[in-house]
Amino acid sequence: MKDNLKRMISYYKPYLGTFFLDMFFAVLASAIALVIPLAVRNITSTIPDMTPEAGMQKILVIGGILIVLVIVQFFANYYISYYGHVMGAKMEYDMRAEIFSHYQKLSFSFYDDQKVGQLMSRITSDLFEITELLHHGPENIVIALIKITGAFIILAGISGYLTLAAFIMLPFMFWFAYVLNKRMRKAFRQNRVKIAEINTQIEDNLSGIRVVKSFANEDIENAKFKAGNDGFLLAKKASYLNMGIFHSGMTAFTLLINIIVIVAGGVLMVKGLVKVPDFITFLLYINVFTEPVRMIIDFTEQFQNGYTGFERFVEMISIDPDIKDREGAEVLSDVKGDITFEDVSFKYKEGAHRVLRHINLEVPAGSYVALVGSSGGGKTTLCSLIPRFYDVTGGTIRVDGKDIRDVTLKSLRDNIGIVQQDVYMFAGTILENISYGRPGASKEEIIEAAKLANAHDFITSLPNGYDTDIGQRGVKLSGGQKQRISIARVFLKNPPILIFDEATSALDNESENIVKESLERLAKNRTTLVIAHRLSTIRNAERILVLTENGIEESGTHGELMEKGGVYASLYKFNA
């Protein structure tokens, strides 16, 4: 916890000027609140013994001073409310940028085990609670300490007996708060987990809403959501049970303090040990004293919310990316496209079975190589190792003779273009989606890339052409249209190495022919690896590799492999 608190405090560093001014105005506003009961005491104790003229003059002077203090307090509270909140928003901005940037660094293996809704909750609701704590927490503590300390000093000066009566309950109150705080912290952390699960379920449902409706499974989705929502409600009930005990207990303690002071004050007045003006002032200060107690109540709840959120934030930030640049990594430049696998093995997790075993392979620059095999044979995995989406667990992969772990990730991936079966389109326009291949490209270059991908004609036929909004994940486009836009992206990127991962397997015959023509044009004079489901599409490949659980089982041209009558020939009969 100590380390987490140190880390939390470090986010104040860029805003120390604003923070210290916030604290100054918090102290000033608290001090002014302490002055007002003193004015009441002064009026009630001195005015009755003065002449009407002198009394009126004094009241006007005190009233004028109090009005000035109210104006000063107004500006102090304005600074706290506006600039303090802006400071909190800036810290939230910094933390959100930090965790989002961290998300970008994490590898495929991390995302394989994560749910989008869980990750979203850490970057939205968690951060809001954290910054509420970072902004309000220190100022609430300062205000509470100033008011409690100031009230104690003033009360002690008025009557030691009444002060003892007022503060006698404090040790019990703080013990009660300590015990309930421990329970609430555990409950609030569970709340975070449950709301993240609900976010995951909502994201999953909305992303797959077309599948839900096509199977008419709305009732099943509602039932699944109800189960998650019920779990959240139970977690909330547990936290509210502890919070209810906490709030009602603290309220009872503050009322007890008032009752003890009233009873003690009455006894002391009867015995002539306390004057009436002092007793009235004391009661006013008890109210000033109970206000920061309520503030501490709010702070404890706020602290539980914010700190549990910060624990989850640190937990995520502390995950070290398993794929990153080595120290001294070089920039991969002037790439020809030679790819070499040297005794490469791979498994996704420790203890898991190996997906690839001792693969040795040479792909000369500019060659066109196809990978075939049954599902689960490791074709996609093998290709995912080249851009280091995953790192090999054994052996070495080289590009132009350089170990890909010795070059920077950006320069490696800048030289590889990937066209996948499941094309991802970002929300926005067609122009924006194609330009993703090379941000900053001119519109002329984007149009040229679209022409090369056989996409220009269908784009210009749309109502807004290249400025047409394609909807979330490109829902307004057909599969063939999305595929051609993804190919245009790669044309714009213009990499020397290409990977086609079953890029046409989900298309109809007409779309497949158009896309196939685009892919062939794209592959010209580039090192190309094609993962094929329909074997008829790779008959003209310079080399076909048959990948099985045993590794590369067969290698050769279509004719050679058919003549051999082995695994490829068998696959071709069923999948051509």
Q: What structural domains and CATH numbers belong to the chain?
A: 2-317 (1.20.1560.10), 339-575 (3.40.50.300)
Residue 437 above 60 pLDDT?
Answer: yes
Residue with tokens 């009660």: 176
Neighbours of 283 (CB within 10 A): 15
The rounded distance, in Å, linking the Cα atoms of 339 and 387 is: 11
Residue 552 has φ and ψ, to the nearest 5°, of -80, 105
What does the pLDDT read at residue 568? 81
pLDDT digits (tens, 9 = 90+) for 354-403: 678 888 989 999 888 888 887 777 888 888 899 998 899 899 999 999 99
For the stretch 1-16, pLDDT in tens is 777 788 888 888 999 9
Furthest CA-CA distance within the chain: 124
Residue 329 has pLDDT above 60, yes or no: yes
φ and ψ at residue 556, rounded to 5 degrees: 160, -175
Q: Compute CA distances 108 → 413, 415, 440, whole Å.
A: 14, 19, 27
pLDDT tens-digit profile of 538-564? 777 889 888 887 788 888 888 888 888
Most confident of 38-42, 314-318, 566-570: 314-318
pLDDT at 14: 92
Neighbours of 63 (CB within 10 A): 12
Q: Note the pLDDT of residue 105.
A: 85
* C-alpha torsion 124→128→134→136, nearest 10: 180
Is residue 476 over pLDDT 80?
A: no
| pLDDT tens digit sequence for 105-160 | 888 788 877 777 778 777 877 888 888 888 888 888 888 888 888 878 887 887 88
| Residue 491 pLDDT exceeds 90 | no
- Mean pLDDT for 273-286 is 78
Q: How is 451-482 classified by DSSP, letter by letter? A: HHTT-HHHHHTSTTGGG-B--GGGTTS-HHHH
**Predicted local confidence at residue 350, as pLDDT:** 67
Residue 19: pLDDT band (50, 70, 90) is very high
Q: What would the two tokens of residue 114 be?
A: 């994560």
Q: Is the pLDDT of residue 185 over 80?
A: no
Q: What is the per-residue pLDDT for 253?
A: 83
By the 10 Å C-beta count (0-12 exposed, 13-18 middle, 19+ buried), 323 is classed as middle
CB 551 within 8 A of CB 359: yes
Average pLDDT of span 303-317:
84
Buried b / exposed e along 83-118 (16+ C-beta atoms within 10 A) = bbeebbebbbebbbebbeeebeebbeeeeeeebebb
Mean of all residue pLDDT scores within the chain:
82
